[in-house]
Amino acid sequence: MSMTGFVGSIPELYDRHMGPVLFEPYAHELVKRLPRGRILEVAAGTGRVTRRIAERGDEVVATDLNGPMLDEARKHTTGNVTWQVADAQALPFPDASFDAVACAFGLMFVPDKPLALREMRRVLRPGGKIVLSVWDSHAKNPASQTLHTLACELMPDNAPTFMAIPFSLHDAAALQALTGGQVETVAILGVAESAASMATGFVRGNPLYNQLVERGIDAAAFQARVEATLAERFGDRPCRTPMSAHLVVA
């Protein structure tokens, strides 16, 4: 899965509208499980986890395959942080050079997941830990499921498969077998300031937006439909939605 779709205004809208709702609560959960020391972050995105690591005073090397996402992360982060574009499947670091590796909601997008996990283990010092998060099933994340359903209804002959990828590692037993780690499922109530804010993030802070434009679909009309559906199902001002994710310590 290429991450090149996160370009233009998408990283900023992604962080502003989806970051506080979907990613900030789980950033705290991940960092609580993360050892202290020199930390490598893989698939740092717009830096929600990076900020929390830097705030506690650790050195962090934050990497992502997508440069524009790291550019957005830099705007919001202070502390002992080094930023580097890097592929999780070929980490450009020496063996045994980090005390821990963090990866928040990134493993799902990596084509060769066992290779990425081997790379994470390679750069760990003896006794180091990998701490990562992945989304639980669509059914346990109903706001995201709503977006996926509406997008598939809009494009039935060429459904946007991107929307399914974030939830592709939802099977806890399979995840444990893949990572060899301890899997803990954490349910959280996500709170957006409004259904409009969440809809903006879902539609315009998402590579899905590029697909709408490429196909000549009225993105504003689709966003309005997403907003109305979210408000109906989860309320408005605020918009509250159940979420569930797996936290892995390996």
What integer pLDDT is reported at residue 162 of this predicted model?
76
β pairing state of 124-135 and 239-249: antiparallel
DSSP state of 154: H
What integer pLDDT is reported at residue 1 of this predicted model?
32
Selected residue with higher pLDDT from 163 and 86: 86
Read off the pLDDT of each residue in 135-147 and give the average, rounded to a whole number.
97
Task: Say which residues have a Cβ less than 8 Å from residue 39's Cβ, sequence separation at least 6.
Answer: 53, 58, 59, 60, 61, 98, 99, 100, 101, 102
- 162-215: pLDDT as tens digits: 788 999 999 999 999 999 999 999 999 999 999 999 999 999 999 889 889 899
Q: What's the number of domains the chain is made of?
A: 1
What integer pLDDT is reported at residue 3 of this predicted model?
45
* Nearest alpha carbon to residue 149 among 205, 246, 222: 222
Read off the pLDDT of each residue in 120-144 and give the average, rounded to a whole number.
97
- 1-57: pLDDT as tens digits: 334 467 688 899 999 999 999 999 999 999 999 999 999 999 999 999 999 999 999
Residue 5 belongs to a domain = no
- 44-75: pLDDT as tens digits: 999 999 999 999 999 999 999 999 999 999 99
**Order of strands across the sheet with 182-192?**
81-85, 59-64, 38-41, 98-104, 124-135, 239-249, 182-192
Residue 3 belongs to a domain = no
The DSSP-derived string for 25-48 is HHHHHHHHTSPSSEEEESS-TT-H
C-beta separation of 197 from 234 below 8 A: no
Residue 4 belongs to a domain = no
Residue 82 belongs to a domain = yes
C-beta separation of 123 from 96 below 8 A: yes
| Residue 47 belongs to domain spanning | 10-249
Residue 222 belongs to a domain = yes
Residue 188 belongs to a domain = yes
Residue 177 belongs to a domain = yes
What integer pLDDT is reported at residue 156 of this predicted model?
86
CATH number, position 243: 3.40.50.150
Say if residue 143's pLDDT is above 90. Answer: yes
Residue 217 belongs to a domain = yes
